[in-house]
Amino acid sequence: MRLLLVEDDRLLAEGLTSQLEKAGFSVDITHTAKEAVVLGKQEDYKAGVLDLGLPDGNGLDVLRKWRSSKVTFPVLILTARGDWQDKVNGLKAGADDYLAKPFQTEELIARLNAIMRRSEGRVHSTVKVGRFELDENRQCLQIEDGTEHSLTGTEFRLLRCLMGRPGHIFSKEQLMEQLYNLNESPNENIIEAYIRRLRKLVGAETIATRRGQGYLFNDSV
């Protein structure tokens, strides 16, 4: 699950990124409105966290530019405590939720997961496909026979991506985009390695390969 964090406080951004990565997100950080507009339009994010007070512009303008360009990923805005007008303006501009500073990181993560579930038409914090159920809060995979497997952060992100759209073919490039941020440059072979590890948990036939196209989670097995 790839996320864009727009926050000019570098210390806060670094601290949030560490916690968000532990929660299963791959995070790109930008500190400026200008770069935020560009990244939001060109990258495939599942959600965004947007501070309204940026050094080179207003976060609301960034949000308006995203929405006018048909950028639809859910956005949580960060506002000053008690500034209700910012909250109202943000929601009118296309934000999905807001959080006032200072805040607890646990609440930020909970709200992010909630707006992502709504964007996918879900109400529960689990993704259930056939015999398999992925628990987002605990980052573990539960199988119909009662078996439970804890996942690493990368395993969780990869399985979350595949199970989020069962039957959909994901290319290696698309999976890489969701697993790693812009500062990371792993070899594409890493995807094959993680696919092999996940197949040991769910079965080789469950994660199918489409030669020359990519991988899909087969919910009919």
The domain spans of the chain are 2-119, 126-217
pLDDT of residue 122: 79
Mean local confidence (pLDDT), 186-209: 90
Contacts of 168 (CB under 8 A, 6+ apart): 216
Q: Could you tell me what percent of the chain has a pLDDT over 70?
A: 99
**How far is residue 138's CA from residue 156's CA, in Å, rounded to a whole number?**
10
Query: Which of the two residues, 135 and 184, has the higher pLDDT score?
Result: 135
141 membership: H or E segment, kind and range: strand 140-143
167: alpha, beta or left, given left = phi > 0 and alpha = psi -120 to 50?
A: left
Model's pTM, two decimal places?
A: 0.80
Give the orientation angle of helix 189-202 with respect to helix 153-164, to 10 degrees. Answer: 80
In the predicted model, what is the mean pLDDT of the chain? 91
The four Cα atoms 158, 163, 168, 170 give a dihedral, to 10 degrees, of 0
Cβ–Cβ under 8 Å, residues 29 and 183: no
**How far is residue 170's CA from residue 208's CA, in Å, rounded to a whole number?**
11
Looking at the domain that runs over 126-217, which CATH code has it been given?
A: 1.10.10.10
Model pLDDT for residues 139-185, shown as the tens digit of each residue: 999 998 889 999 998 899 999 999 988 999 999 988 988 888 888 87
Model pLDDT for residues 73-101, shown as the tens digit of each residue: 999 999 886 778 888 999 999 999 999 98
Cβ–Cβ under 8 Å, residues 181 and 28: yes
Rg of the chain over Cα atoms, rounded to whole angstroms, equals 18
Question: Six-digit token pair at 135?
Answer: 């628990």
The letter for the amino acid at 108 is L
Query: Which of the two residues, 105 and 124, has the higher pLDDT score?
Result: 105
Residue 31 reports pLDDT greater than 70: yes
Q: Which architecture characterizes domain 2-119 according to CATH?
A: 3-Layer(aba) Sandwich (3.40)
Cβ–Cβ under 8 Å, residues 170 and 162: yes
Cβ–Cβ under 8 Å, residues 5 and 49: yes
pLDDT of residue 221: 58
Contacts of 107 (CB under 8 A, 6+ apart): 99
Question: In degrees rounded to 5, what are phi and psi of residue 57?
Answer: 165, 180
